[in-house]
Chain A
Amino acid sequence: MHEQLLEDIAQKNGLREVNTYLKLAAGLGAIILCLLSTSYLPPLFITLILTCSILSLARVGAKSYARLFIVPFWFALFSVAGIILISGGQEAFWRWDPLPWFSLSITKESINHGFFVFCRVLGGMSAMCFIALTTPMTDIFIVLRQCRVPEIIIDLAMIIYRTIFIILDQVKQIHNAQVMRLGYSTFQESIRSFASMCGAVFIASWNAGEDLIRAMDARCYDGKFAVLGESRRVEVLPLVVVVVFLSLSSLVVIFSKDMAIM
């Protein structure tokens, strides 16, 4: 078996049975509130709540969650460092002018701004993770169709979704075969191996496409790709929880208006 993919976590998470719209409302609502807020506090609040619910309600392992979070976290950290150094302000704590037209400084305003951006990234990230870890793609297809997204786009998305895993499997097999025969021992060798793997996978996916048409024809394909699965009912408790979460967050947004760290 392959290692755990994001989608596998989503398929098994504790909130799988909750109505998709509720989960999307919580996630998307959180992102919008993060964007609307003018202070660092609401995004932090949202991060805290969503992280707790991912870990305790959806029962996603802390390790998987941390691994997912760490890459954008570092990215955000470095970007924010850049923002703090480049953007200016009145109260400078530190200043350096290496060139006449270029200066780096750390000011009160830039720290405030940087921290705010950083919190926003955290908030947005946790909301994205919340959606990704609790809502499998298969449920999102249903929502897309109910939202009147054109059929052809959904059908294509479904085929892509299904094929990704097959091709991923093939990539792993070819990669293993190459590693076993020392295909990645030197830099030059790895470039060559990688190129040949890409070629092989391209041919394999081409074949898979032809097979797909054949498989569909064999089952009387008539322009209808797949019906909807059933969507789950909106239950009272999750609905209340989402409403409380979003209204609490909105309150935090309103009361923390223009609040800054310094």
Chain B
Amino acid sequence: MSRIILEAREIRYRYPHGMEAIRGISFHIRKGEKIALVGPNGAGKSTLLMMFNGMIRPDAGIILFDNQPIRYDAASLRMLRKRVGFVLQNPDRQIIAPTVYQDVAFGPTNLGYSETEVREAVTLALRYVGLEGFERRPPHQLSGGEKKRVAIAGVLAMDPDVLVFDEPTSGLDPAGSEDIIELLDELNHEGKTVIISTHDVELAYPWVDRAILLLEGKILQEGIPEVAFGNPEFVRRAHLSLPTLLELHTELRDRGFPLPEKKPRSVLDMMHIIETLFRKTCLTATPGTITICNVDQENKESLLGWLSSKPKISVGAMGTRAKQRAEHDQIRLDFTYGVIDKCILRALLGEDSLVLSTGSMVDRVHTRVGDYGKESGIHIIVTPFGSRTDNPTRDKEVI
């Protein structure tokens, strides 16, 4: 287990002339974790998040960052805020400068970077969130999702260890929310600790490592999502709804179906449960293959040529850069969210799929598919793009 990066010990906070927002909370967050703070409006989520970068100082109790109690003098706060990036709920409140470039450069400039370093940091951050070429645009002309990305880039430019997001998906359309969650996933994969607050149970449930349910300034339940969202009583009290998968799981169990202990986290898990339940696999004798293409290494012609030879293949893209590339090359994407699971589901139906990805994300496909294989006993072949392992007879069947 990785080391603890943020810890709260018995913290309390009362707003001046107001109600007590935080009433004795203790918890810890490990490096590289994905944490969701979930709870109804007014539960104290935002207040708690603001304590992580020292915007609010608790009245009692201490918060430790990297095992050091947070100190509230200007210099320490600056260091803390460099390492804990905070993305506000409303990007209009976060974006302060008149152009995208200037806004993203705000943090690095104030940290005293040289002009070339600032430019480098800004270019990198904008590239990361997929907003290259937006440098001179004024924020008020951007869409909601783009503004959110600018706000995220502004924080990323300071290269923080911990990223705190207050309601990252509020006000975005479903596809936009999924894109942002994918982006957070990508960041987490790069080793950043990601903490979000949200109401969106369906989005949080499959995604987070651990969830903390808050109610009236106290922790109601804390743990892995199956536990945190698994108690209908607590979920009701926290004004949330049970994730559909868990509800389905409960309903099946109530009807006397013998279900495994492990609760499903994804549609793939659910499929697996149902298939074992009925002792019947709907899949063809041989599962389909998953081909991974690293878009940084392949050129457009070979990719399009390959795709035109397989008209029925499903294509998914993981990561901002892969999605941009697909759009640029006019490749129609079937999946943009939860790509690996969806490809495994295709493979179980005997269909082939292609995953467009970049760099480190490629390994994740192997890991996830390998894990699934171990769990279910079904071996799915994952081949890198361009290798000649494709079985020509299978291709004919597909066509």
Binding site for B on A (CB under 8 A): 7-8, 11, 136-138, 141, 158-159, 161-162, 165-166, 169, 208, 211-212, 214-229
Contact = CB atoms under 8 A, between A and B. Distances in A.
A82 to B, nearest CB: 40
A220 B140 contact: no
Contacts of B154: 219
Given A165-B139, A166-B140, 13 more contacts: A141-B98, A162-B96, A162-B140, A166-B92, A169-B140, A212-B93, A215-B88, A216-B96, A217-B81, A218-B81, A220-B81, A220-B107, A229-B101
B109 interface: yes
A227 B115 contact: yes
A214 B93 CA distance: 9
A229 B135 contact: yes
Contacts of B118: 227
Contacts of A223: 110
A162 B158 contact: no
B158 A219 contact: yes
B141 A229 contact: no
A29 B144 CA distance: 40
Nearest to B97: A226
Nearest to A157: B98
B136 A229 contact: yes
B94 interface: yes
A223 B98 CA distance: 17
Contact of A222 (B93, B105, B112, B137): B112
B266 interface: no
Nearest to B79: A220
Contacts of B98: 137-138, 141, 158, 161-162, 226
Contacts of A208: 93
Contacts of A225: 97, 106
Residue among A136, A162, A208 with most chain B CB within 10 A: A162
A154 to B, nearest CB: 10
A162 B78 CA distance: 25
B167 interface: no
Interface residues of B, number: 38
A220 B103 contact: no
A166 B135 CA distance: 20
A141 B329 CA distance: 37
Contacts of A221: 106, 110
Which secondary structure dominates where chain B touches chain A? helix
B110 A7 contact: no
A11 B138 contact: yes
Given A136-B138, A226-B109, A215 B102 contact: no
A216 B95 CA distance: 9
Interface string B71-103: 000000110011000101000111111110111
A81 B78 CA distance: 63
Nearest to B74: A222
A165 B110 contact: no
Contacts of B141: 8, 11
B398 interface: no
Nearest to A164: B140
A138 B138 contact: yes
A161 B141 CA distance: 13
Contact of B110 (A11, A211, A219): A219
B344 interface: no
A38 B301 CA distance: 66
Given A138-B98, A159-B96, A229-B99, A219 B107 contact: yes
Contacts of B86: 218
A18 B128 CA distance: 29
A166 B97 CA distance: 12
Given A166-B140, A212-B96, A226-B102, A220 B158 contact: yes
Contacts of B97: 158, 162, 225-226
15 contacts: A136-B138, A138-B99, A161-B98, A162-B98, A162-B139, A166-B92, A212-B93, A212-B96, A214-B55, A218-B53, A226-B97, A226-B98, A226-B105, A226-B106, A227-B102
B335 to A, nearest CB: 30
A165 B140 CA distance: 7
A224 B92 CA distance: 20
Interface in B123-164: 135-141, 154-155, 158
The 3 closest A-B pairs by CB, nearest first: A165-B140, A226-B102, A222-B110
B107 A138 contact: no
A206 B155 CA distance: 25
A217 to B, nearest CB: 7
Contacts of A136: 138
B81 to A, nearest CB: 5
A203 to B, nearest CB: 15
Nearest to B93: A211
B111 interface: yes
A11 B98 CA distance: 12
Contacts of A218: 53, 55, 81, 86, 88
Given A166-B92, A215-B93, A222-B110, A11 B137 contact: yes
A169 B91 CA distance: 14
A141 to B, nearest CB: 7
Interface string B161-175: 000000000000000
B102 A219 contact: no
A227 B155 CA distance: 16
A4 B139 CA distance: 15
Nearest to A163: B96
Nearest to A222: B110
B132 to A, nearest CB: 15
Q: Which of B81, B98, B111 is most buried by chain A, counting CB atoms within 10 A of its CB? A: B98
A11 B82 CA distance: 33
A193 to B, nearest CB: 24
Nearest to A207: B93
B66 to A, nearest CB: 17
B55 A217 contact: yes
Contacts of A141: 98
